[in-house]
Amino acid sequence: MSAVDRDAVTDTVIETRGLTKRFRGGQLAVDSLDLGVPAGSVFGFLGPNGSGKTTTIRMLMGLIAPTSGTATLLGHPVPRAARSVLPQVGALIEGPALYGFLSGRDNLIRYDSADPAADPHTRRARVAAALDRVGLTAAGGKKAKAYSLGMKQRLGLASALLQPRRLLVLDEPTNGLDPQGMREIRSLVRELAADGTTVFLSSHLLDEIEQVCTHAAVMARGRLVVQGPVAELAAGARGRLVVTTPDPARAARVLKEHGVTDLAVAQERVTGELPPGEIEPADLNAALVRADVRVRSFGVERASLEDAFVALTGEGFDVTG
Ligand SMILES: Nc1ncnc2c1ncn2[C@@H]1O[C@H](COP(=O)(O)OP(=O)(O)OP(=O)(O)O)[C@@H](O)[C@H]1O
């Protein structure tokens, strides 16, 4: 009998403790990572290029051994229990390996045949269902080499979905795709999550994480910067104050006196960082009015995950790493 109980109830589908990878050349790619991915989440693993995302995923999938620390998948230790737990995990790492001369459908048949646990009698139905899942039924007979990058990526996802999965691990699933391809993958991820599959996906695109993920972890230089629900992460960074007024110089002076920093004036628009602590935006508005500044509009721009990243690391989010 399998060492893995298929019905094991785990609230945290991926958990790492002090997970560390130092490559032979001495490069510390992942540094004491403590990650917790809740069941049912769409979890974004975010960081600039070179921040250690792929190395972490390769350790989770048992492809490379950690230097130190531990990791569990669906409650079972990896790499020790990798063999028994990985059948419940669909993974798409560094693009799918496809045969260009075979049709999309035949590529999936090949994948399914390579799985010793897959019943050959139900193979055709499984492949048809997987093609349907990713919207490739009509293109199933086309050679894979004629597929667009987005279609290839969807075919890769179909191969990961031939069996029911509790967890999907996708490494940069939208990398290299055009906006339409990105949208397709994103809506597919949402659908899969709605069906109850936990999805862990890495990305260096902040807005992608904001659009599709419920939770995120932010990496920088091999270290975890922060993790949690996306809404809370963005709320951790205070938004920027924006005032429009025909008296920008006076407004800037008053705001400065009340602790607003990083003030910038562009025509009738004055922006700045809210002071930390007790002061409410409404108090600032009242102070402007008291000082006879004619306020046309007053607001705080919603903070984005990017603001949170900048606030936490003190650096810009440079996708070229
Ligand atoms: N096999 C290896 N040997 C030595 N160093 C490596 C190896 N693989 C990765 N690294 C280094 O480890 C660091 C983290 O790389 P990793 O690929 O995990 O980052 P990433 O966040 O996934 O970035 P990308 O999106 O570019 O893949 C980088 O500095 C990289 O050069």
159-206 pLDDT tens trace: 999 998 999 999 998 888 888 888 888 998 998 899 889 999 998 888
Q: Do 274 and 227 fall within a single domain?
A: no
Q: What is the arithmetic mean of pLDDT over 272-301?
A: 87
Distance 52 CA to ligand 1 centre (A): 6
- Ligand 1: residues with CB < 6 A are 23, 25, 27, 29, 47, 49-55, 204
293 within domain boundaries = yes
Q: Do 159 and 294 fall within a single domain?
A: no
Q: How far apart are CA 50 and CA 307, in angstroms?
A: 21
Q: What is residue 314's predicted lDDT score, i.e. its pLDDT?
A: 66
**pLDDT exceeds cutoff 70 at 3:** no
Q: Do 157 and 100 fall within a single domain?
A: yes
Q: What is the arithmetic mean of pLDDT over 244-248?
A: 95
6 within domain boundaries = no
**pLDDT exceeds cutoff 70 at 236:** no
Q: Of 180, 215, 233, which one is at a domain's C-terminal end?
A: 233
Q: Do 124 and 103 fall within a single domain?
A: yes
25 within domain boundaries = yes
Contact yes or no for 198/176 (Cβ under 8 A): no
Distance 37 CA to ligand 1 centre (A): 22
Distance 29 CA to ligand 1 centre (A): 6
- The number of folded domains in the chain is 2
78 within domain boundaries = yes
Q: Do 179 and 251 fall within a single domain?
A: no
User: Residue 226: which residues within 8 A CB-CB, separation 6 or more?
Assistant: 217, 218, 233, 236, 308, 312
Q: Do 85 and 209 fall within a single domain?
A: yes
Q: Do 219 and 248 fall within a single domain?
A: no
| Ligand 1 pocket test target in 16, 24, 27 with most atoms within 8 Å of CB | 27
Q: Do 111 and 229 fall within a single domain?
A: yes
Q: Do 153 and 178 fall within a single domain?
A: yes
Q: What is residue 2's predicted lDDT score, i.e. its pLDDT?
A: 44
- How far the first Cα of the chain sits from its last, in Å, is 46
Q: Which atom of ligand 1 is nearest to the CA of 51?
A: 21
* ipTM metric: 0.94
248-257 and 281-290 helices cross at what angle (nearest 10)?
130
Sheet of 215-220, strand order:
89-92, 167-171, 198-203, 42-46, 215-220, 223-229
Q: Which atom of ligand 1 is nearest to the CA of 27?
A: 5
| Ligand 1 pocket test target in 23, 31, 169, 174 with most atoms within 8 Å of CB | 23
Q: Of 190, 212, 233, which one is at a domain's C-terminal end?
A: 233
Confidence bin at 5 (pLDDT 50/70/90):
very low
**pLDDT exceeds cutoff 80 at 122:** yes
Distance 181 CA to ligand 1 centre (A): 26
Which is nearest to 239 in space by CA: 260, 258, 265? 260
Residue 271 sits in which domain range? 238-302
Q: Do 206 and 264 fall within a single domain?
A: no
Kindly report which listed range (107-116, 204-213, 290-299) carries the lowest average pLDDT score: 204-213
CATH number of the domain where residue 23 is located: 3.40.50.300
Q: What is the arithmetic mean of pLDDT over 251-262?
A: 93
Q: Of 218, 233, 248, which one is at a domain's C-terminal end?
A: 233
Q: Do 256 and 153 fall within a single domain?
A: no
Q: Do 95 and 161 fall within a single domain?
A: yes
Mean pLDDT of the chain: 87
| Ligand 1 pocket test target in 20, 28, 53 with most atoms within 8 Å of CB | 53
**pLDDT exceeds cutoff 50 at 25:** yes
7 within domain boundaries = no
